[in-house]
């Protein structure tokens, strides 16, 4: 029986992750502290890896108890700390980020579900250790580098590549599964963007990343993957929703993962 082996939240959308031993599923099914904060430009659009490769040059550390965010430029020693719970702290952080990006940036907070990448599927994203290692082999990268490119919240310890593809079905259906006492519905494989093509420290892109990824994904596609939700091979990782009766439950590293079966989409 596979188990939850890694649990990572991203307190500030697009910045570095924070590994946790346990996390509570909060409002709308998002993990507590995951993408609770986000950076916005003057037009109210996200400042993220899709918008600018410069975000990869930012390093960050987040203290979950105090909400203190420490920022620094990649390769530099100088640190800058901001208390994001306070409006003044968010304003000061925005000023520092404005200087870094060379355009106006504000930092906003949503403590009732955060700013998920998928606006409809708020649940944590899921991947397996076998998938991370397989993709690392495709591009001759360390597994940790690939984890930072793909940015999954939950990693399951199955060594079988693409194990998480078992957790979605066709349109109109979901796969119900559990992690400890928490029920989740696997909905669809995540459509990838430009972010995985770039080095998470420098922003430097791998030439022909998407083409090579698609070729390898097609060549290694397991028998359990095909569905009408898998409409092109530039998909990897699982998007989920958490039913309301599992909100406020806790999941932890070591929790067993069990597949309950396919059911109609709620």
Q: For the chain, how many structural domains are there in total?
A: 2
**Residues 134, 92 within the same domain:** no
Rounded distance between C-alpha atoms, residue 254 and residue 1, angstroms = 11
pLDDT tens digit string along 32-47? 999 999 999 999 999 9
pLDDT tens digit string along 109-137? 998 889 988 878 889 999 999 999 999 99
**Residues 53, 136 within the same domain:** no
pLDDT tens digit string along 94-107? 999 999 999 999 99
pLDDT tens digit string along 163-180? 999 999 999 999 999 999
Residue pair 32/24 in contact by the 8 Å Cβ criterion: yes
**Residues 49, 78 within the same domain:** yes
Out of 54, 77, 109, pick the residue that ends a domain: 109
Out of 68, 83, 109, pick the residue that ends a domain: 109
221: left (phi over 0), alpha (psi -120 to 50) or beta: beta
What range defines the domain where residue 214 resides?
A: 4-29+117-264
**Residues 53, 11 within the same domain:** no
**Residues 195, 238 within the same domain:** yes
14: left (phi over 0), alpha (psi -120 to 50) or beta: left
DSSP-assigned letters across all residues of 65-130: TTTEEEEEETT----EEEETTSHHHHHHHHHHHHHHHTS--EEEE-TTT---SSSS--SPPEEEHH
Which residues are within 8 A (CB) of 233 and not within 5 positions of it... i.e. 6 or more apart?
213, 214, 217, 218, 221
Q: What's the confidence (pLDDT) of residue 188? A: 96
pLDDT tens digit string along 207-246? 999 999 999 999 999 999 999 999 999 999 999 999 999 9
**Residues 167, 80 within the same domain:** no
pLDDT-derived band of residue 57, with 50, 70 and 90 as boundaries? very high
Rounded distance between C-alpha atoms, residue 30 and residue 36, angstroms = 9
* CATH number of the domain within which 236 lies: 2.40.33
Out of 109, 144, 163, pick the residue that ends a domain: 109
**Residues 102, 135 within the same domain:** no
**Residues 154, 212 within the same domain:** yes
**Residues 80, 174 within the same domain:** no
């Amino acid at each position: 029986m596979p188990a939850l082996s890694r649990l990572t939240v991203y307190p500030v959308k697009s910045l570095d992750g924070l590994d946790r031993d346990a996390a509570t599923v909060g409002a709308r099914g998002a993990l507590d502290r995951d993408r609770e904060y986000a950076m916005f430009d003057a037009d109210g659009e996200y400042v993220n890896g899709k918008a600018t490769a410069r975000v990869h040059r930012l390093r960050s550390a987040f203290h979950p108890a105090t909400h203190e965010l420490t920022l620094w430029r990649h390769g530099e020693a100088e640190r800058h700390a901001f208390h994001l719970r306070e409006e003044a702290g968010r304003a000061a952080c925005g000023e520092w980020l404005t200087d870094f990006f060379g355009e106006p940036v504000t930092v906003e907070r949503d403590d009732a579900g955060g700013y998920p990448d998928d606006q409809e599927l708020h649940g944590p994203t899921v991947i397996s250790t076998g998938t991370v290692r397989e993709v690392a082999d495709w591009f001759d990268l360390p597994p940790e580098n690939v984890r930072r490119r793909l940015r999954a919240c939950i990693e399951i310890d199955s060594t079988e590549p693409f194990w998480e593809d078992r957790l979605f079905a066709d349109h109109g259906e979901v796969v119900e599964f559990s992690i400890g006492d928490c029920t989740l519905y696997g909905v669809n494989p995540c459509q990838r963007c430009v972010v995985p093509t770039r080095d998470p420290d420098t922003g430097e892109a791998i030439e022909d990343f998407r083409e090579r990824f698609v070729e390898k994904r097609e060549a290694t596609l397991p028998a359990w993957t095909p569905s009408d939700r898998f409409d092109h091979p530039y998909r990897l990782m699982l998007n989920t929703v958490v039913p309301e009766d599992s909100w406020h439950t806790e999941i932890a590293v070591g929790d067993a993962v069990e597949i309950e079966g396919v059911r109609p989409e709620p």
